[in-house]
Amino acid sequence: MSRIHVPWLLASLAGTALCAGCAQDVSGISTFVGPGNPVGEFGIPVRSLDEGRFAGVVRQKYDFSCGSAALATLLRYHYDYAVREEIAFRGMWAEGDREQIRRVGFSLLDMKRWLGSRGIKAEGYKVGLEQVAETGLPGIALISVKNYKHFVVVKGFRGNEVLLGDPSVGITTMGREEFAEAWNGIYFVLTDDRERARAAFGTDAQWASYTRAPIGGEFSDPVSQQTLMLSAPFYGDIS
């Protein structure tokens, strides 16, 4: 994030004439260039549209790494774990079925196993979208859009919209019906520290990052490990 410095005497013009009078130096600091010598300066934090779009989302580094990026997003931005995508990627590779991973990508079972090796409990549940909204827990979902399967983090609900952290495009939304049709119905969540997770679900700050711009319930009966294994982006696409 850059910081733009503007002479305080010209502060009233900052909102309308900032770009026309800014000079960028090599340090990434922009300084307002106006008539005469500056009398004083103040800083305005600035971020690019790309930075804003990925606020609260870990961007995937590779076409096939949406699983590790989605998991890092969930851990970093909803549970305050300092986890980078590379850490999740290497951890799941080390703990997972490498032959399976090579064929179909990471699965929810790979996520569960790696989290378990770090003492973090997680489960996948077969639930409806209304249960997710009522429970108010962030989680990972596998969706299919135009035959492209992809992991996203469900970050909140507002009206008929689902707020998503998509590792490929950043913060985005889908209509509830559209999401329900694209989703395979398995919702992957951490089973501990749920109050922290609920506090970071559907916040105003997260919705503000989208540039168009429950209530104590719990899940029950986690799905089997076989079902988690089948929840991988490319499972069934390669014989």
Name, in order, each residue with C-beta under 8 angstroms of 42's C-beta and a sequence gap of 6 or more: 5, 6, 8, 11
- Interstrand relation of 161-166 and 30-32 (parallel, antiparallel or unpaired): unpaired
Q: 149: helix, coil or strand? A: strand
- Active-site amino acid positions: 66
- Smallest CA-to-CA distance from 145 within 110, 108, 171, 184 is with 184
Alpha-carbon distances of 233 from 83, 108, 148, 150, 178, rounded to whole Å? 22, 10, 8, 6, 18
- Smallest CA-to-CA distance from 38 within 2, 11, 16 is with 11
Contact 40, 9 (CB under 8 A): yes
Alpha-carbon distances of 49 from 31, 46, 116, 153, 194, rounded to whole Å? 20, 10, 36, 20, 32
| DSSP string of 35-95, one letter each residue | SS----EEEEEE--HHHHHTTT-PPPSSTT-HHHHHHHHHHHHHS-----HHHHHHHHHHH
